Structure 1
Amino acid sequence: MPLSPDQQAEIEELRSQPQQTLRAVSPGMEAHLYHARPVLDHGFVRVVDYMGDDAAITQAARVSYGRGTKSVSNDEGLIRYLMRHWHSTPFEMCEIKLHVKLPVFVARQWIRHRTANVNEYSARYSILDREFYIPEADALAAQSTVNNQGRGAALTGEEAERVLRYLRDDAMRAYDHYEEMISTEGQDGLARELARMNLPANIYTQWYWKVDLHNLLHFLRLRADSHAQYEIRVYADAICEMVKDWVPFAYRAFEDYRMGGATLSAAGLECVRRMLKGEEVTQENSGMSKGEWREFQGLIG
């Protein structure tokens, strides 16, 4: 189950006791507070706390730029200007703290974003639950033949059944041995900090993750992308839904300029200019490598 009974009881108690505040609040984010959004088979994401809203971004920008913002007629226009010109500091005025339950192998990818404050459940002090991520059958895929870190066609039939059986059986066997090693019945019992090394990477862990909006949007640009690994992408997608309600102006600008936009090299931009003039541009006369040319063609269709 995603939430333990104790966690659910804590959430219900907190939601039953709303507090008055003088600080800025986002009605969209208030609706997400203390609600756990299920992800994968046993995971979740929930908002524990947040600071700021769209107005906090524009407030900080106007302090920074003073008269330079007078020509911007509204907050959304200013936010789009900031996003368009990569002015990141105003977005750092907003922060969010998330409680995330996720498989360890997803956490290892996630922690590569070293721009957040993280506190993880400790298997040195506590005993991990018998919860493992087991993919749905349609999420099992062969190694990609064109991408060394991606997936290819889905596995089917007997091979898919065998892989699922191995994943379940190996996880349960490892946890059985974990329990046996830490048990103090008739033995001293191995220290938890040592016994945990026998557990597989698909066991679930939990952490609190606090990050500012600028760095969160960078995380989402990479992890909500269609090329990201499925298991981390579904967490990013869930967070996107929360951010969309929290800072709607900033999120729309992010969708336009980061998720839906594209960056061209100087060579790529020159090729576009030449094409607009009616020139025939090929890989050979573009000044690009074959890989760059392939990606350029993908961008311009």
Structure 2
Amino acid sequence: MPLTPEQLQDIQNARANPQPTLRAVSPGMEQHLYEAKPVLDHGFVRVIDYMGDDSAIVQAARVSYGAGTKHVSNDEGLIRYLMRHWHSTPFEMCEIKLHVKLPVFVARQWIRHRTANVNEYSARYSILDREFYIPRVEDLAAQSVVNNQGRGEALTGEEAERVLRYLKDDAGRAYDHYEEMISDEGQQGLARELARMNLPANIYTQWYWKVDLHNLFHFLRLRADSHAQYEIRVYADAICEMVKDWVPAAYGAFEDYRMGGVQLSGKGVEVLKRRLAGEAVTQETSGMSKGEWREFEGVFG
């Protein structure tokens, strides 16, 4: 288990001391509260706190839109209406705070979502643990020949073994030098804020990450997608399981309209209309670029 004994004790203490509350709670999320969901080889995601549930979204929407939503017959229908028409502010009434342990290179990709509050473990103040992300053999892949930011075919045989050996050896050697540089035995010892520069990007860091549901859905739409990098996608998948239990109606709408839906350009809509009218439309007559046409055909054939 990637948790330290101290963290495990904190979780046990928190779960053993429930407090009465008058605020809305989500029974599904209560089951996840404080528990760590293992991710990758040393990482995890756990819920520290949350605010709101499906009813909070509905409550905010009815305050905001009043009589304009009276034609929606039930709460789930209203939530689906909000998702369908991109009314985002009611979803911002729900928030979640996560404790995440993740490799530094994943954190650098994750932090590009600038709509959350983040507090990261400080390597200026504390010493990082000797924990590195080492991929499984089946997750080692060559550069994609069609996507400059993606993977292609899996590495095999001696090449895969050599890559794994380099990753393990280089990480261990870098950490040995890190420990040697910060040691004050027989020397002054280099400052931690300087010594950390020698650590590899696959070392693990930790942070608290607090975000509202609207921006969390945006994160999940991009990072739980099949085209996302595997190492961040597995974190997004773990969060999806938690959110599904937290706000089931909102997550169902998100799955339907965002994850399972398709957004069409004006040209795409026009091509569909022409096809339905019996016209044989090609890329040259569609008005789309080759890239747009390839994506269109990937969905509609």
TM bin (shorter chain): over 0.9
Amino acid at match of 1:50: Y
Q: In the aligned structure 1, how far is the partner of 2:64 from the partner of 2:290?
A: 43
Match of 2:162 in 1: 162
Amino acid at match of 2:38: P
Q: In the aligned structure 2, how far is the partner of 1:185 from the partner of 1:289?
A: 64
Aligned ranges for residues 66-215 of structure 1 at < 5 Å?
A: 66-215=66-215
Q: In the aligned structure 2, how far is the partner of 1:289 from the partner of 1:216?
A: 32
Match of 1:222 in 2: 222
Q: In the aligned structure 1, how far is the partner of 2:209 from the partner of 2:219?
A: 12
Tell me how far 1:2 sits from its aligned partner: 1.1
Unaligned runs of 5+ in 1: none
Amino acid at match of 1:18: P
Q: In the aligned structure 2, how far is the partner of 1:37 from the partner of 1:78?
A: 32
SS in 2 for 1:33: coil
Amino acid at match of 1:201: A
Match of 1:47 in 2: 47
Tell me how far 1:211 sits from its aligned partner: 0.1
Match of 1:18 in 2: 18
TM-score by length of structure 1 reads: 1.00
Match of 2:36 in 1: 36
Q: CA RMSD in A?
A: 0.5
Q: In the aligned structure 1, how far is the partner of 2:269 from the partner of 2:299?
A: 12
SS in 2 for 1:210: strand
SS in 2 for 1:99: strand
Q: Which runs of 4+ in 1 moved over 4 A?
A: none
**Count of residues paired in the alignment:** 301
Unaligned runs of 5+ in 2: none
Q: In the aligned structure 1, how far is the partner of 2:184 from the partner of 2:241?
A: 45
Tell me how far 1:273 sits from its aligned partner: 0.3
Tell me how far 1:81 sits from its aligned partner: 0.1
Q: In the aligned structure 2, how far is the partner of 1:107 from the partner of 1:299?
A: 32
Seq. identity, %: 84
Tell me how far 1:70 sits from its aligned partner: 1.2
Q: In the aligned structure 2, how far is the partner of 1:283 from the partner of 1:190?
A: 61
